[in-house]
Chain A
């Protein structure tokens, strides 16, 4: 609920009382603004300001006076609450929210409907065990049973981040899980610590969506983890437990890294703080899964071991029943039930595994070949994922000769534009790309867009290692300058100027650009609008700061309409929103898990009954 003046709120609530119970208001253009299945009877809360710190909080107002803020409160939108409150208001004949009996009603509602949630944690025996998808599947399974569910990962090392509505950065994967939970607005509580590798041994550490500092590994464990780290984990788990029925937590890597066990706030450390029971996921595909399961459980100190209440054998390629005798033996050895033998789920969801990405030279099997320059500090490469829905193969290119035969070139985002441009120059990719100018479409996204410009000025050495000004590829009349250590982080929506069709995306960058080119997009801001991007139609050059630019079909189709294979246009898939594609795949994934898991056992673990 937005901050509004008290009188205005009172007036709105009176209107709501007059209108009566409405349930989910699917006519509303913003519906659902919180979660799928929400009750919209009270868009303005009749209890405002309840001053209950477990629900809302005070923020500083313009005149220094605190203002009650309800952004994250979901209580009044729970279907059972909306209906109950309205029927009580009618029964008691209350007409004005200022009626003193409203306080009693609030207390009664809290008493009846408010329960602090429980946390459940998904641990993986290795990275890529399938934790993220398991969390997504469990979120969806619980959501379908009518619970309010939030995903959570205390610490995520990721090159792919997304921007929340208030301009916080969180890992992309938690936004997918939030979607699986039916939530509309993933927020920074769901991933309070985000580590963004900087390409050397250091990472930028983001806390609650904002830059906090740069650390190398020992500094991180010695200075960050015991202080601000554990505090952030505690604060945010508590926050979510106060607002959701279930918090489904994801571990990071293996929980049995005994060399750092006591400083690990991503696994058992978080489980203890959250008082969560845990499920251990083991990827069967690589073999050795029983050893991984037994070793993981047995290496976790006894005081925490008891939290592991179930095991999932994941990603079984052959006949799952072949695993049953082994699973029974495992249960006997560990005394922990195997709650599911989950077959390999053939779903297309963006994935976090930079490990998998590292060894990959191409993806997709379509007709046209789109070459993506795999710069060493590549970032937000999930931008490319929607291309796999099209008739395209994406090849990751690190050498000039690999560009041969490309039908289009994309220079993606990077964690460090200047260093990656220098890298391109060193191996000749800069010249090679320029030689394709005018022949095939070339697109730069974020850092890649900056690289396509004329000049990159870094007078204070903010982006590069030393102060310098270097020439870009010169495809656009554009000068980018880093003049202070400041990051632009914002969600965007608007339209593609050529067609007027909608486009969404988000920007995360340092360095601001002066561009003298025809723009690509119109971005609608709160009050006015601005243009964004650069477009040279004759040379088929495209540049934009927008991550996620391919998600909506408009720009994807537009860009691909310039791509030709042997003179022929690309076969286009039906224009589909990538969001819908993700939704379908989440549903598919959840069905695979739902069929394979013992749901009663899952529920008893989630509810802390097992």
Chain B
């Protein structure tokens, strides 16, 4: 079983929501593993086996009660300045990508989906995180982590929208509209992230989005100022983990967020039914 969280934009909070959901399943005793096919990130984590993966998947692994592993982030792209990007496949450096020399997409997607299959066979649920926005019109046809994963592995998806910047309804609707017809039905629901204030004020808007898209509103996650480095360099989370034990600090953060989400009535049961 698996589920994919896709976001309306880079900093929509996919990483955190994915970690939170991993945590939720872990608390219930489900054997769960995180997965993000492609990660564009400066922050990486080196696993015990010496594999380099995105920082976010390390957090998500901890939230799942696991040790981070290379399969959790099979394609890692690390910008190294001057337009060069280092490619790391399943934790091992595999050369640079530049303006002129683009990524070997068939190879990368094969590597990515094989890693996904391995996780699927080992765990009860694989909680996947998408990458950026799935509907960048100039990049969509080369997508691996969002549309690609949905298309190739028929993974059901949940769309995460960030309300902090405003325009969340437009972002949800626009993303849904621009998705290709063959994968759009896989997007079953949406979450509104980083909300402050009285959630009932959103009711009218939420209902309209449900009506016109058929996606189900699975909950509104309250804003919490969480202190952990986000996946994307763009995230506006305002701090880094301090202290030696990053894992411990992170865990208490993610537990607090999960509790807040539960309290705010995020419908985890409905999400579980989507796997």
Contact = CB atoms under 8 A, between A and B. Distances in A.
Given A292-B8, A295-B175, A323-B138, 7 more contacts: A218-B201, A259-B202, A259-B204, A291-B170, A295-B170, A298-B174, A359-B236
Contacts of B135: 288, 290-291
18 contacts: A126-B166, A254-B170, A258-B208, A259-B203, A287-B9, A288-B12, A288-B136, A289-B133, A290-B174, A291-B133, A294-B177, A294-B178, A296-B167, A298-B177, A299-B173, A333-B178, A355-B164, A355-B165
A471 B265 CA distance: 45
A333 B164 CA distance: 27
A286 interface: yes
Given A295-B177, A326-B136, A359-B237, A288 B8 contact: yes
Interface string B158-181: 000000111111111111011000
B133 A358 contact: no
B234 interface: yes
B53 to A, nearest CB: 21
A90 B61 CA distance: 87
Interface in B205-224: 205-206, 208-209
Interface string A280-312: 000001111111111110110000000000000
Contacts of B167: 124-127, 253-254, 256-257, 292, 295-296
B11 interface: yes
Which are the 10 A-B pairs with shortest beta-carbon distances?
A295-B174, A254-B167, A295-B170, A288-B133, A259-B205, A326-B138, A288-B9, A291-B174, A359-B238, A326-B137
B197 interface: yes
B74 interface: no
Contact of A286 (B10, B166, B175, B206): B10
A76 B168 CA distance: 47
Contacts of B197: 201, 217
Interface in B91-135: 132-133, 135
> Which of B12, B173, B202 has the most chain A CB atoms closer than 10 A to its own CB?
B173
B65 to A, nearest CB: 30
Contacts of A258: 169, 204-205, 208-209
A286 B234 contact: yes
Nearest to B209: A258
A589 to B, nearest CB: 22
B177 A257 contact: no
Interface string A158-200: 0000000000000000000000000000000000000000000
A456 B133 CA distance: 52
B136 A290 contact: yes
A286 B7 CA distance: 11
Nearest to B83: A318
A127 B177 CA distance: 22
Nearest to A252: B166
A interface, size bucket: 35 or more
A124 B9 CA distance: 15
Contacts of A126: 165-167, 171
A325 B177 contact: no
A329 B203 CA distance: 33
Interface string A194-227: 0000000100000000000000011000000000
Contacts of A385: none
B173 to A, nearest CB: 4
Contacts of B170: 125, 254, 256, 291-292, 295-296, 298-299
Interface string A337-373: 0000000000000000001101111000000000000
Contacts of B208: 258, 299
B275 to A, nearest CB: 25
A287 B169 contact: no
A435 interface: no
Given A290-B136, A291-B178, A256 B169 contact: yes
B217 to A, nearest CB: 12
Contacts of B7: 288
A322 interface: yes
A285 B133 CA distance: 12
Contact of A257 (B11, B133, B136, B169): B169
A128 B165 contact: yes
Interface of A: 124-128, 201, 217-218, 253-254, 256-260, 285-296, 298-299, 322-326, 329-330, 333, 355-356, 358-361
Nearest to A127: B166
B178 A290 contact: yes
Contact of A291 (B139, B166, B175, B236): B175
A485 to B, nearest CB: 27
Contact of A253 (B136, B166, B198, B209): B166
B137 A288 contact: no
A250 B123 CA distance: 52
A291 B11 CA distance: 14
Interface centre among B10, B169, B198 (most CB of A within 10 A): B169
| Most chain A beta carbons < 10 A, residue from B136, B164, B234 | B136
B138 A293 contact: no
Interface string B217-247: 0000000000000000010111000000000
Nearest to B202: A259
Contacts of A360: 238
Interface in B187-205: 197-198, 201-205
Interface string B138-161: 110000000000000000000000
A257 B166 contact: yes
B130 to A, nearest CB: 11
A253 B163 CA distance: 11
A294 B174 contact: yes
Which of B9, B12, B197, B198 has the most A CB atoms < 10 Å from its CB? Answer: B9
Contacts of B169: 254, 256-259, 295, 299
Interface in B32-78: none
Contacts of A292: 8-9, 167, 170-171, 174
Contacts of B139: 326
B174 A296 contact: yes
B137 A330 contact: yes
Nearest to B137: A326
A288 B130 CA distance: 13
B165 A329 contact: no
Nearest to A284: B136
A127 B238 contact: no
A333 B140 CA distance: 15
A333 B178 CA distance: 9
Nearest to A359: B238
A292 B135 CA distance: 10
B204 A322 contact: no
Contacts of A324: 138
B9, B166, B205 pick with most chain A CB within 10 angstroms: B166
A166 B167 CA distance: 36
A255 to B, nearest CB: 8
Q: Tell which of A127, A292, A296, A322 has the most Cβ of chain B within 10 Å.
A: A292
A254 B174 contact: no
Nearest to B204: A259
Contacts of A290: 133, 135-137, 174, 178
Contacts of B238: 358-361
